[in-house]
Chain A
């Protein structure tokens, strides 16, 4: 039963990801006074891509062809570990938050390798930038989740959420810092403005797009979908770790229903925040990104330290 539920949740996750993307586009258009496409445009795009015949460059190796599947699979697995509407699912036991980060890294690695596989200048450029950014973002992310893990005494996500739920609303300075860090990282990792611009193909600014420049057809679809799932993953992480209220703690129907509604609401709100930031800020130069990310890193480490110094100082074992 639990396993079935877990699989269902994962499927829901996968299915809902394009919807979130559509929502974000829509809100953005509204804020920019443009006419918005329908909410389901992403699904149409994906379907269109599946139908198209993919093209492999001559110099491509098997890595180029395998990468989309690996990227997608690793993202889906990551999605499976993260409690969406309910905690205490068995999948949450398979892997904890460190493994989650590991899986992001795995997917990214193959994406980058695929980018370098063709031997185009853009592929290399994108890969180099992607790795640079991630090598600063990943530690920040780890620090942020460690802060949570240390106060919850677990790296297991559903345990941690339980912990937050049980202790109720406590104003922890560490969580505030961690939340800040986490949000900055999420923006960077999902390739949004001000770090990267998913909508551009302007040579010198693109990062993520530069890597997948040579992809087409179903491969491109898989990658796009994977990045939509990733975006949603970060959203869910932020939402459920820092504001877990409303997530179902048992498997009763109305609890689950309420959980779905709540997560949808939270994600919608987060999406609006994201869009606001995207509309308000301009994309920054690649070498400014390091300052941005080291600030995220700093926030997370501060969160950790403030947990150690301010909150846990009187804990004795």
Chain B
């Protein structure tokens, strides 16, 4: 259990530390070190949970089961690899004078603050605290979005702040209702918001109230997932902030918001006994999937492009969780992993590509493979992976989603087919043009540290070819937990 406290403590210390000396050239290293330490702790925790099963902390404030422990590990991993990339990247940004020392301090401390919030969202057992830390994540990142102080970035940050704030407020209303329903049965006091308690007594809670609560929770956390039509902040925030932050936003924040929604769904399903929550999620998921796929076709900014692709994939996951059969749930969990690995890798590559071309406008970026093969191929392979081509892992989850949907809701498969086709076309028409072709004037190679990318892609490849036993166990246990059945 100590591991959990470590995981929460390390970023806290790191935040303080970096708030002080975030402008020193060592800052990047410190940041990386903190994340690596957290990663170690996370692995320790994972092994612990794998052997000893779910665990409750003293005071039942923290709860670790197979569902969130692998998300913790994933968060720690992506956090560390991204921080490895962020060090030189931010240094380069400072060298070209886009950033001042104060802002670097802000950036690094908020990086840790964000990680803290993420870990808290995942590990807490208290729905209220989950809400608080989710809001905390917004607050931590909102100032990073406007880090460059350009009009666009300020605008993006403002929208991010207001929309997520309002959204999350609705989630709080949902939490209140949840508490209200629980405390009628479990009595007044802190227990009534503990997820374990709620899940245990889900059967006796008042379905009417929980139904209402879920609507608020879905709209609230859904805003953070970036479900259409609550998504509008997402592309702006991703495209205007510094690239490492885009990577962790779309690699981690979206995942954890989805995690929150799924936790709520588990409660609501237990209470309602109907599939209402599932239908809502499927509806939102499918809508996001299709609309985002359409948006891909119109993009001119490379980071915007990939943020829309994030929306699309979150939509697919939400849809899969909504379908709720073991196959679909397994697929969704697996997709969470592969997507955040791949997408963060892509954002890293994109960051380099943008630095190399000196712009984020895609029509200015051409012939990457000829300019700097490793960046070009990184981007191309990453896109191939995210577009769901085997042997990369994303394919396995898309495959399972399709099969499961064909199994349970065959009439929805045409939409999936359409969506995947549209999304692929929208993504690839841009990427192909950037990667191949003639090299434009003044596009010169830069020195880039691409091994986080290679690591991520290699992992995704490995996962696509074979899922190692312990990971398979996690997925199976989590699937069991969420869908109440094992896939076979």
A and B touch in the complex (CB under 8 A): no
The chain A residues found within 8 Å of chain B, CB to CB, are none
